Structure 1
Amino acid sequence: MRHSGASSRLGCFAAATVIAFAVASCNREEQATPAPVRVVRTITVEPPRQAPDLTFTGHIEAQDQASLSFRIGGRLAERLVGLGASVREGETVARLDPENELNDLRSAQAVLTAAQGDLRKAENQFQRQSHLLERHITTQADFESAKQALTAARAQVDAAQARVRSAEDVVGFTTLKADAPGIVTRVGAEPAEVVAAGRMIVQLARREGRDAVFEIPADLARQLTPDMQVRVALAGEAGAEATGRVREIAPQADPVTRTFQIRVGLTDPAPAFRLGAAVSGSIRDSGGGAIAIPATALTQRDQGIGVWVVDPKALTVSLRKLDVTSSDPAAARIAKGLDIGDIVVTAGAGLLREGQRVRLIGAEPR
């Protein structure tokens, strides 16, 4: 019986040993199982290509333009200048029919004449009452009444004079003069038309300063900044070029064309850059010196945006953090983080982890 118990204990011990050995073997097999080799698509980073200049077309306008208009409405009697005319400062460009305004002036002058006559009568009456009061021939009440009449007469003259000055100003408003020298670029009314106050009669372009005006798409507008230098060439005339700087960028797109207007102030343009002349503008592509890779290569991790770079000898990957200057659905421009010749994963990056072995598409498995 003792021998039988010892044999039973020995059997249990042997079974436990076998089970423990089996579990340990399984653990060693699990620990030794490597991560699966992923098949990935890659590119080799190449030197950045010099991008061509970005070009756009436009026309020449004056930097400063003014719409000349009458301050009052009326019938346009004459317009003395036409499209393209050169105008001096103070030169008359148009006139309204002044008949109604002259009648108002005559009426105001007549009222003034009558008020001045009443004032002379009031002055004489006041002087007479003053002398009589000194001799105690008149009453104090009559003297005060004459004094008040004189004050009222003077006020009437002042009011009449103000009306005359106002009527004279209105008569002057029937003549439209240029406030600065320039060139007529538009006309807005013809003789015999009845025009409202504020309606543009002629548009005057100042002689100083020229702008090249362009309508450009949104993607190009994003690359422009105020004061950026632009090279402007005159269409149809070889060698006629000027430089300028971006002066204005429209804050909103045109509702019809969906383009943005920019104005480039030209620096000392040649006389050939006439108003309305067709021009082309060009700037250097801001992304021309950056490394470009497919946007699908980018991966977002806790450390930021990066790419998986393949070690060509070990065929393992490591995450490389990048400084991305710009990105669109097709490509990303990299300022820092990649070197020429680096092998970058462009497809399959979402399943990778640090140090994982990979096989490049088209390569023989190792």
Structure 2
Amino acid sequence: MTSRMSARPLRFGLYVAIAALSLSGCNKPAEEVKAKPERPVSIVKAHFASAVAPRSLVGVVKARVESNLGFRVTGKIAQRLVDRGAKVKAGQPLAILDQTDWKLQLQQSQAALAAARSSRDQTVAERDRITQLRLKGWSTSSDLDKANAAADQASGGFVQAERAVTLQQNTLSYATLLADADGIVTATLAEPGQVVASGQAVIALAHAGTPEADVSVPEAMLDRVRGGTASVVLWSRPDKVYPAVLRELTPSADAATRTYPARFSIEKTGKEIDLGMTATVTISDASAAVARLPLGAILDDGQGASVFVVDPQTKALARRQVTVQGYDSQAAIVASGISEGDDVVALGVQKLHAGDVVRLVSQAGF
């Protein structure tokens, strides 16, 4: 009986000890109970662009006006004064023909002019003399008529000789090929000593002014080229984007390539653009801007499409409702709900909750 009475206090003390241990566990700090490890996540930067992907065309930088210059007379080239790549001014001599024969013809015309002038002066003086004699009755009307006819003929011969001198002077000036505008020599098509015909191309000159990108447009892109916004990037300077304007679109396709030649004027250019450079013309539509996100970034649990955005300061997640315009094989097209540059969780959004603190481990290339 005594042993049973002594066992009861022992059991009671054991129960009290167990209860005390349980209560001590319940009094741990709330922070230790609620603390969760940071979840590693992969993100993608939100970037808004045209809903329709821009199309690019590769072309060559050319001058708006490119002319082949030639002499207006036939002759032998005596001098070529410029080389390919030379920058010239309007009126600057480019090449000269042998002028020996034209100088002799000019001298001959000048001598004929001097003779015609002398003959005219003599006949006019004779007419004036006979006119005075006729007034005094010392000459006949027949003599006066003859004098008038001779004077008129001599005057006409003088005018003809004057025109001949002018023509020879012009011909001599044609022996010097002049630049018709400021520009750059792009080709030399004849050499000194070569005999060239009238109108044969001797110098190719690209006129100074706004450069243009010469491209070939496929038939499927004609409407986009006419109504889109164009920009140009040079292969030599990929970091610089130049605005461009469609200036010319050929109405008929090239017989060989079945494409349509087009010219885009490149605006806001400087000396860094040289003729012949390779350029990429990008055509963008004027449609509303959208963001393309990975398919795994979209969470739809019956409350509408949403994404998780990482706060750049606290690294906490915020759930945002988004408007999805559509889907393709690789991306969801988001029209609104996020801002440019937001860090959007790219994968594993089904395991996350708003307020979770995350750790950025990678940025998805998208």
Aligned residue number for residue 16 of structure 1: none
Mapping 1:219-230, distance limit 5 Å: 219-225=220-226, 228-230=228-230
Aligned residue number for residue 126 of structure 1: 127
- Cα-to-partner distance string for 1:309-353 (whole Å, 9 max, x where unaligned): xxxxxxxxxxxxxxxxxxxxxxxxxxxxxx979xxxxxxxxxxxx
Mapping 1:34-183, distance limit 5 Å: 50-183=51-184
Aligned residue number for residue 208 of structure 1: 209
Output the amino acid matched with 2:267: T
Aligned residue number for residue 278 of structure 2: 278
- Unpaired stretches in structure 2, ≥5 consecutive residues: 1-49, 291-324, 328-366
Aligned residue number for residue 194 of structure 1: 195
1:51 touches 1:288 (CA, 8 Å); kept in 2? no
- Unpaired stretches in structure 1, ≥5 consecutive residues: 1-48, 291-338, 342-366
Output the amino acid matched with 1:229: T
1:242 touches 1:270 (CA, 8 Å); kept in 2? no
- Cα-to-partner distance string for 1:137-165 (whole Å, 9 max, x where unaligned): 22121122112111111111011111111
Aligned residue number for residue 265 of structure 2: 265
- Cα-to-partner distance string for 1:25-52 (whole Å, 9 max, x where unaligned): xxxxxxxxxxxxxxxxxxxxxxxx9443
1:249 equivalent in alignment to 2:243: no
Structure 1: distance between partners of 2:286 and 2:190: 47
Q: CA deviation at 1:265?
A: 0.6
Structure 2 SS opposite 1:170: helix
1:186 touches 1:202 (CA, 8 Å); kept in 2? yes
| RMSD of aligned Cα (Å) | 2.5
Aligned residue number for residue 45 of structure 2: none
2:229 touches 2:286 (CA, 8 Å); kept in 1? no
Mapping 1:318-333, distance limit 5 Å: none
Structure 2: distance between partners of 1:159 and 1:239: 67
Identity of aligned residues (%): 27
Output the amino acid matched with 1:255: A
Structure 1: distance between partners of 2:211 and 2:74: 33
Q: CA deviation at 1:107?
A: 2.1
Seen in structure 2, the aligned counterparts of structure 1 residues 68 and 139 have a Cα distance that, compared at 3 Å, is same
Structure 2: distance between partners of 1:258 and 1:289: 33
Structure 1 SS opposite 2:138: coil
Structure 2: distance between partners of 1:55 and 1:156: 69
Seen in structure 2, the aligned counterparts of structure 1 residues 63 and 191 have a Cα distance that, compared at 3 Å, is same
Structure 1 SS opposite 2:96: strand
Seen in structure 2, the aligned counterparts of structure 1 residues 288 and 261 have a Cα distance that, compared at 3 Å, is farther
Q: CA deviation at 1:61?
A: 0.8
1:54 touches 1:285 (CA, 8 Å); kept in 2? no
The normalised TM-score by structure 1 is 0.61
Q: CA deviation at 1:286?
A: 7.8
Structure 2 SS opposite 1:240: strand
The normalised TM-score by structure 2 is 0.61
- List 4+ stretches of structure 1 deviating above 4 A: 285-290
2:90 touches 2:180 (CA, 8 Å); kept in 1? yes
- Cα-to-partner distance string for 1:226-265 (whole Å, 9 max, x where unaligned): 7x42111111433122110111111122222222211111
Aligned residue number for residue 36 of structure 1: none
Structure 1: distance between partners of 2:166 and 2:189: 30
Seen in structure 2, the aligned counterparts of structure 1 residues 256 and 286 have a Cα distance that, compared at 3 Å, is farther
2:229 touches 2:285 (CA, 8 Å); kept in 1? no
Structure 2 SS opposite 1:105: helix
Q: CA deviation at 1:222?
A: 4.2
Aligned residue number for residue 22 of structure 1: none
1:234 touches 1:278 (CA, 8 Å); kept in 2? yes
1:77 touches 1:191 (CA, 8 Å); kept in 2? yes
Aligned residue number for residue 332 of structure 1: none
Structure 1: distance between partners of 2:192 and 2:326: 72
Aligned residue number for residue 313 of structure 1: none
Seen in structure 2, the aligned counterparts of structure 1 residues 187 and 159 have a Cα distance that, compared at 3 Å, is same
